[in-house]
């Protein structure tokens, strides 16, 4: 490994920056460092499955299948699709609550999903450097043990914000079906008048599907590209938990 690319912690850095720099230095000496704990990895893949089910079932809820011949009671196709959608929605919501808990009790990498050091100049410098790398303007990206600055920004203001929005609007719509007085209606019923009316919430919830799909496409592309060209493991890291720096 080219150790000249790894800089030791510098004076004047924040505690977070020092921790990140120390992790990179440690990774350089042992070629890998343990980053993502088992609950974080499990949440990632369960979340990926839930979002896949939500996207497919949500699309067919918004654009239903053609009517099939025969008695309606003999064909429960849309009922199964809606059941799959609601089940995956609960998995997503419970997973978010569990992820918040692990951000509190897990290591410092588990907290990267929930905050961005926007008041630190070095963060924006590193984010700009990653933007240049993704735009093919620089030959190599910076080395980061956890999420790189651009990925971190996208996770917080892209995935997390959309996941919360889809959870709130989804349970608000679910509360209509479960009727007045249900816990879904009591906790999330305020979303509908806030956004106008039920159809407005339906429209924005459906648009959120396409926003989530765009994020997933960019996320998968960035992970594969960084794994191949960035010379550090990304996909395998979310399986084993270890970030490996390649020669």
Per-residue model confidence (pLDDT) at position 139: 84
CB 27 within 8 A of CB 235: no
Domain locations in the chain as residue ranges: 38-66+76-241
CB 82 within 8 A of CB 64: no
**One digit per residue, pLDDT tens: the chain, 247 residues?**
333 344 445 555 555 555 655 665 555 545 788 899 999 999 999 999 999 999 999 999 998 877 777 777 777 888 899 999 999 999 999 999 999 999 999 998 999 989 999 999 999 999 999 999 988 888 888 888 888 999 999 999 999 999 999 999 999 999 998 888 899 999 999 999 999 999 999 999 999 999 999 999 999 999 998 888 887 888 889 999 998 887 6
Query: 38-66+76-241 — its CATH code?
Result: 1.20.950.20
The sign of the torsion formed by the CA atoms of 73, 78, 84, 86 equals negative
| Distance in angstroms (rounded) separating the CA atoms of residues 221 and 117 | 25
CB 77 within 8 A of CB 66: no
Distances 156 to 19, 96, 113 between C-alpha atoms, Å: 20, 13, 6
Per-residue model confidence (pLDDT) at position 146: 86
| Distance in angstroms (rounded) separating the CA atoms of residues 110 and 101 | 10
Distances 93 to 46, 168, 222 between C-alpha atoms, Å: 12, 9, 25
Per-residue model confidence (pLDDT) at position 117: 92
Question: Which tokens sit at 122?
Answer: 């070095």
Per-residue model confidence (pLDDT) at position 4: 36
Per-residue model confidence (pLDDT) at position 22: 62
Per-residue model confidence (pLDDT) at position 26: 55
Per-residue model confidence (pLDDT) at position 15: 57
| Beta strand ranges found along the chain (DSSP E) | 32-34, 242-244
pTM of the model: 0.81
Per-residue model confidence (pLDDT) at position 1: 38
| Distance in angstroms (rounded) separating the CA atoms of residues 246 and 231 | 5
Question: Of 46, 48, 40, which Cα lies nearest the Cα of 213?
Answer: 48
The conformation of residue 232, written as its DSSP 8-state character, comes to B
């Amino acid at each position: 490994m080219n150790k000249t690319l790894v800089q030791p912690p510098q004076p004047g850095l924040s505690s977070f920056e020092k921790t990140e720099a120390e992790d990179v230095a440690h990774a350089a000496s042992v070629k890998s460092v343990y980053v993502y704990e088992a609950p974080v990895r499990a949440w990632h893949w369960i979340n990926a499955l839930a979002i896949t089910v939500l996207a497919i079932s949500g699309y067919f809820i918004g654009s239903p299948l053609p009517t099939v011949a025969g008695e309606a009671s003999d064909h429960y196709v849309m009922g199964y699709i809606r059941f799959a959608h609601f089940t995956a929605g609960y998995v997503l919501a419970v997973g978010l609550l569990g992820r918040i808990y692990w951000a509190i009790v897990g290591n410092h990498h588990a907290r990267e999903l929930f905050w961005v050091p926007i008041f630190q100049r070095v963060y924006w410098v590193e984010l700009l450097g990653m933007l240049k790398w993704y735009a093919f303007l620089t030959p190599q990206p910076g080395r980061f043990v956890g999420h790189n600055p651009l990925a971190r920004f996208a996770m917080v203001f892209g995935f997390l914000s959309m996941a919360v929005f889809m959870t709130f609007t989804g349970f608000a719509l679910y509360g209509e079906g479960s009727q007045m007085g249900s816990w879904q209606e009591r906790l999330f019923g305020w979303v509908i008048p806030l956004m106008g009316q039920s159809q407005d919430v339906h429209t924005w919830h459906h648009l959120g599907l396409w926003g989530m799909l765009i994020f997933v496409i960019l996320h998968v592309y960035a992970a594969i590209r960084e794994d191949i060209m960035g010379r550090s493991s990304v996909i395998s890291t979310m399986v084993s938990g270890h970030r490996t720096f390649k020669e």
